[in-house]
Amino acid sequence: MTALLESVGLAGPTSHGLRHTAASLAVAEGANVRAVQRMLGHASAAMTLDVYADLFEDDLDQVADRLDRAAGRAAAESVRTEGVGPDLDALSPDRQHHG
């Protein structure tokens, strides 16, 4: 049956293909490289990166986006002004005015 399927270009999934798909799905869902390493049984994360490096190309865009957001938060924090206006927490309940 395998030969027949291959002859018409419909060969079934291979164990390598399934392994690659599993790694791809794990990466797409944000799995840590070390988790993918353990899942695949690689001796090191470096081996995982060497074998599946093409799966991580989109990560550069994600890192850039995260850095942009972090820079925006840092910029917003840097312009916050502390101590402007009354310190409402410091007012004792008997000094607060209701009006």
**22: containing domain:** 12-79
Domain membership of residue 18 (yes or no) is yes
Higher pLDDT, 60 or 22: 22
Task: Decide if pLDDT at 59 tops 80.
Answer: no
3-state secondary structure of 55: helix
Average pLDDT over residues 52-77: 80
**Number of independent structural domains in the chain:** 1
Domain membership of residue 66 (yes or no) is yes
DSSP state of 85: S
- Dmax (CA) for the chain in angstroms is 90
Domain membership of residue 87 (yes or no) is no
Task: Decide if pLDDT at 38 tops 90.
Answer: yes
Identify the CA nearest to 50 among candidates 39, 37, 60: 37
Domain membership of residue 57 (yes or no) is yes
Higher pLDDT, 61 or 97: 61
This prediction's pTM: 0.47
Asked if 33 and 49 touch (Cβ cutoff 8 Å), the reply is yes
Helices (H), the chain: 2-7, 15-28, 33-40, 45-52, 59-78
Domain membership of residue 58 (yes or no) is yes
pLDDT in tens, 83-95: 666 666 666 565 5
Average pLDDT over residues 17-43: 87
Domain membership of residue 4 (yes or no) is no
Domain membership of residue 91 (yes or no) is no
Domain membership of residue 92 (yes or no) is no
